[in-house]
Chains A and B, each alone.
Chain A
Amino acid sequence: MESRTEFKIKSPPTDAISAVEFGPNSTQFLLVSSWDSTVRLYDIHANTMRLKYNHDLPVLDVAFQDAVHAYSGGLGNTLKMYDINSNTETIMGTHDKPIRKIEHCTAVNAILTGGWDAAVKLWDPRSPTCVGSYLQPDVVLALSVCGDKFVVGTAKRKVCIWDLRNMAGMFQRRESSLKYQTRCIKGFPNEQGYVLSSIEGRVAVEYLDTMPEAQKKKYAFKCHRIKENNVEHIYPVNAISFHSAYNTFATGGSDGYVNIWDGFNKKRLCQFHRYNAGVAALSFSHDGSVLAIGVSYLNEAEIPPGGSDEREIYIRYVNDQETKPK
């Protein structure tokens, strides 16, 4: 389904898409990491691939540090920094196990990685060294920076909040308010809280403030479920991305839908059409005008819906109607 508000990116990766991310201050460049062991940079204005570099093994996440530096890691356990201007790559270091999540924290200008070795590591962008490794209770499945803090979601539904200003110990330790495995976490741009999604078609809105009145506001809701033949199919919510200005967020599920929500008013703002496979990754551009949608089959169902080789990146220009709280 092509229209003027949405188009597919040409020459997509040859395997499932693991992450998409827009550059920090332009809507032009999009980083895409993939299970085909590559990281690609697309120019979405011209709809061309600008460059591509390889890892040894599938890449699970990628992050921009600034407009010209990308960090990527995956099953190869290695964190790579890629300089887009000079086309040079630097190996920053390794985890003991695959790296699942990479985030750039602007507050301290450092790179955070979370891995299946139950560690979160902090990297100094200017020297290829790890400056801190912080043990988590379990395998890291989700990680998001939220201002001065970052939120780690691990297996067994643990949620750990760390304060970058004081990394001597965990800032808060919680259990996920959802009953199923954590799939994705994203911090609100206004740094008040975070949104956590699970594999069981459900999303929780949580607040960092531990005061009872703040905690009273937290809630969870069901989504990404499809009723077929009287059986409700419940899909994992794979991706969350925030609109930086409105604090609304998009969720993408394995059902192939993208929904945009107004978390503060508990409203769904819109739903896009169904994509041919699950939505694996989402990224709003810095100004919230463009949403990149990575569509891939992630082996969530035994039988892939509509062909397992679906792997596309859609670029959708969103408008205020779709993203602004009403």
Chain B
Amino acid sequence: MKILVGYKRVVDYNVRIQVKPDGSGVVTDGVKLSANPFDDIALEEALRLREKGVADEVIVVAIGPTDLTAHLRNGLAMGANRAIHVTTTEAVQPLTAARVFLKLVEQEQPGLVILGKQAIDDDANQTGQMLAALWDRPQATFASKLEIADGKATVTREVDAGLEVIEAELPAVITTDLRLNEPRFIKLPDIMKAKSKPIATIELASLGVESHDHLTTTHYAPPAKRSKGVMVKDAAELVAALKQKGLL
């Protein structure tokens, strides 16, 4: 069985996000970029399934500009067999991403697609669900435990009420939650091995995917600064201040 894994590059979770002074976006120049943490979890889960003998091939997929190669090499160093790089210079919205994955699913015929439940840049939480609908296959989102047997995935989902266990027939789409696993550390010799693993490059336009944006971003702004507090001497002054603000 093949497993297709979404492997998006985002601004690293340790980076303090800064909005550009003109409000046109967030600063990404000179900023550390790395794999979406939920995608690292997705890849780890796929690798574990391969190590258990459930899968025989793990393919990482990223959609974006040409300099994503180094990012995909990290996925290969972690252990993926090969990578597919769908190139585009445009920002990709969830529906476009889902349509791209559908094309790749048709080409690769995987038994399982594992995606992060959301990416930490746009926090959309849509691609997995959209892909399942377009592909007309089952989806199991927010997985915190995954077992595969007899052509079925048994998935423990993290839902508001606690944990929910569902069964999904394969092929299926699974999206990962934080507690599914803890991704492995990359080993130096594996970085070297990854250099000779194949990365297939496909232009997004050549996939025949309709990629018009359904949403337009008007502007970005940092959260409003909290105004300074006022020190009051005693309870009477506090009451007066609250009254003045019309709160009492």
Tell me if chain B binds chain A.
no
